[in-house]
Amino acid sequence: MKYRRYTLVVLVLLVVLSISIPSLARYMNESKNKANIDIAKWNFKINDSTITSSTISLASTIDTNNKYSTKYVVPGTNGVIPIEIDADDSEVSLSYKISFNLSQLPDNLHIYTDSNKTLLFDSSNIVEDTILITDTNKKNNYNLYWEWEYKTDETSNKNDSLWQDKNIELIINIEAKQIVRDDIS
Amino acid sequence: MKKKVIILSLTIVLIISLTINTYSRYASSGNVHINDITGNVKCSLEITNTGNDFSSNGYAQFRIKVKNTDEKGNLSKTPLSYYLVISNTNNLGKFKYIDSLGNGNIDFLERITTKTYTFRSDHLEVEQINVEVKTDAFVSEQVDFNVDLYCNQIVGK
């Protein structure tokens, strides 16, 4: 009687194990003939680079129609920072988040997510989207619009003057994750 | 027998927990660093005061050269506007300025502010302003004075 009960317990555990096994097949295709495993490719690129960190010179993004300076970042200048999310070589769907990580910018220099410069891009703002394996276009492009406002009030003059010959820095963090079944349901 | 079953069960649980570890997803993250060194406004002045320089009107004078560079000769990265304020510091002198185009103030004053001039940022520019000095006593006296230069970034020419 006891032996039967133990057998039953073992059988139940085996059933549990056999149920869990199909969930392992999410990223793999097992070939019975060759007994090898193909792993889906994950190739996520930011601005055409697979490296985890890339650098853009803000001066290189200055709007050349600018009246204040076309070469240097000074009050009155503005420009567009392009961000390209490229999942062309990935064989899985993915979701990603673009967030504001750190900034060392003059008070009057702001980043916006729209060309009308009404939507501020700051630490409280996250851009989220997906690129699905079924999408024909697997590249998403974003423009971040920046402007160092030319203001002549006393406070602005004082603050802007403090930012002469200074290093300005903005870090944009981009996180991408493969979309799995649990995310969809 | 019971022991065997427990061992077997533990093995199965262990296998399950091991397989759970392989249940992962692809993920990656990256940073885009955007940086630069900001521009600047550079201007400087040089005063030539020989002590024996006289204007065509017979007044003692000193000359001010204003440049769109710093003292080391580095060019301003933005166009700029500037003006000078000249004032005495011992209540003795009065001043009258004349720029290279002949502009200036009509009466001698203890404190004068020049008109506002502009400089570009694509090449060196120099403006010379001559300042005549007189005292009420019309005798040889030492006149102490200050020259302040105020520069502001402007829209390009």
What CA–CA distances, in Å, run from A150 to A66, A94, A147?
A: 12, 41, 9
Which of the four pLDDT bands, split at 50, 70 and 90, describes residue B12?
A: low
Pairwise CA distance, residues B76 & B42, whole Å:
4
Which of the four pLDDT bands, split at 50, 70 and 90, describes residue B51?
A: confident
For residue A180, how many other CB atoms are within 10 A of its CB? 17
Per-residue pLDDT for B75 more than 80? yes
Tokens of A73: 């970042």
**B138 contact A CB<8A:** no
pLDDT value of residue B21: 45
Kindly determine whether residue B12 and residue A54, on different chains, have CB atoms separated by under 8 Å.
Answer: no
* Chain A environment of B27 (Cβ under 8 Å): 175-178
Positions of chain A with pLDDT lower than 50, given as ranges: 20-33
pLDDT value of residue A30: 43
Pairwise CA distance, residues A77 & A81, whole Å:
13
* Chain B environment of A2 (Cβ under 8 Å): 1-2
B127: closest CA among B99, B98, B90?
B99
What CA–CA distances, in Å, run from B112 to A94, A108, B55, B61?
A: 69, 34, 18, 15
Q: For residue A139, which amino acid is it?
A: K
Digit-coded pLDDT (tens) for B104-153? 999 999 999 999 999 999 999 999 999 999 988 766 778 889 999 999 99
Strand ordering across the sheet containing A94-104: A53-57, B27-37, A167-178, A94-104, A126-131
Which of the four pLDDT bands, split at 50, 70 and 90, describes residue B90?
A: confident
Predicted ipTM of the assembly: 0.72
Which residue do the tokens 């005063």 mark? B47
